[in-house]
Amino acid sequence: MAYEHSVLGTNNNPAEAANRGGIHVEGLGKRFGDLWAVRDVDFSVPPGKVLGLLGHNGAGKTTVLRILTTLATPTTGRATVAGYDVVKDAARVRERIGVASQNATVDGLMSARKNLVMIGRLYHLPVAEVRRRADELLARLELVEAADRLVKDFSGGMRRRLDLAASLIAHPPVLFLDEPTTGLDPHSRNDLWSLLRERVRQGTTLVLTTQYLEEADKLADDVVLLDHGRVAAHGTPAELKARIGNERVVVTVTRPDELERARVALLAFAEGDVTIEADNRQVTGALRQGTRLIEVVRALDLAGIDAHDIQRREVSLDDVFLALTSTTKKPTPPKEVAA
């Protein structure tokens, strides 16, 4: 089921967003038959902050978003958005949120400009104001030249940008973006990041799901990492990276048959296990404190490894994701409610 754009009242003052833009989730769970899509999820997002909601496919991210946007009811726990309970005050929640789902919800038989004007009018914005905002967003998301073309002729990336513009047009106090930059080129992605930072500075609260962990690192004040429907970790990006330890060394070998020998050679210098990425012909490990890179080079040479490249780098959210989530898949909920 695709998300629908909510109807928002005429009070779009950024001060209201700052005062009533927070989110609170306590003991949230959703069960489908015997399967728990999410369970015992707790987090809070203060007004004017960004939460990165991360996890592997099927971890429960979209189920959490569906509950917070009133498209699903929780089995256990409660949640408030902009000060209103998502079950008892669902209509008031919908008046105060903007949503962009993974699938574009704009009308293909209308132009980009008419889509934005229509959605702005559904938000009860005055005609002159909605036209001004539509022009501003079309320019910011580089859709001006295509503004009067039918959306059915747009590329996937153009549809994505238009759908994001639709979610932003009313300056909602709370914004939910589900994989917002999927299909966007790097330039468009950076433009969107800049626009979102502006909205957050004005008081908008943002919940973001993304598979681009660099995106969460750059944008999120706080991160909730879901694994099999439960919270595996919660903290700032810096806190989560500190939690899993030291710098990483990444060795790229020339031939696939060298991967296992390279892994064994790195174990002498690693905190914990050393992982193999066969597709990239790479082995990666967390270095023990005080390890010099020359020591690693010598060990690889003694093992007869023809290393194509050796890099020492800081811990990333990708490392956090790999360290704290399971590779075992859980059963998938029914298609219409898939997490």
Cβ atoms of residues 38 and 231 within 8 Å: no
pLDDT at 335: 52
Cβ atoms of residues 240 and 233 within 8 Å: yes
pLDDT at 277: 87
Which CATH number belongs to the domain containing residue 299 in this structure?
A: 3.30.70.100
Residues 112 and 172 in one domain: yes
> Which residue range forms the structural domain that includes residue 273?
246-314
Residue 324 in domain: no
- Among the three residues 206, 241, 276, which one is the final residue of a domain in this structure? 241
pLDDT at 279: 86
Residues 126 and 274 in one domain: no
- Among the three residues 241, 266, 301, which one is the final residue of a domain in this structure? 241
Q: How confident is the model at residue 321 (pLDDT cuts 50, 70, 90)?
A: confident
User: Is the model's pLDDT at 304 over the cut of 50?
Assistant: yes
Residues 175 and 284 in one domain: no
Residues 95 and 168 in one domain: yes
d(CA 269, CA 234) in angstroms, rounded, equals 29
pLDDT at 333: 58
d(CA 18, CA 83) in angstroms, rounded, equals 11
pLDDT in tens, 9-47: 333 444 443 346 699 999 999 999 989 999 999 999 999
Cβ atoms of residues 168 and 194 within 8 Å: no
pLDDT at 4: 36
Residue 195 in domain: yes
What does pLDDT average to over the chain? 84
Residues 71 and 151 in one domain: yes
pLDDT in tens, 130-141: 899 899 889 888
Specify the pTM: 0.76
Residue 334 in domain: no
pLDDT in tens, 162-211: 888 888 888 889 999 988 888 788 888 888 888 889 889 988 999 999 88
Residue 290 in domain: yes
d(CA 335, CA 3) in angstroms, rounded, equals 15
User: Is the model's pLDDT at 328 over the cut of 90?
Assistant: no
pLDDT at 332: 55
Residues 183 and 304 in one domain: no
pLDDT at 3: 34
- Among the three residues 241, 260, 287, which one is the final residue of a domain in this structure? 241
Number of domains in the chain: 2
Residues 137 and 266 in one domain: no
Residues 36 and 153 in one domain: yes
3-state secondary structure 144-206: HHHCCCEHHHCCHHHHHHHHHHHHHCCCCCEEEEECCCCCCCHHHHHHHHHHHHHHHHCCCEE
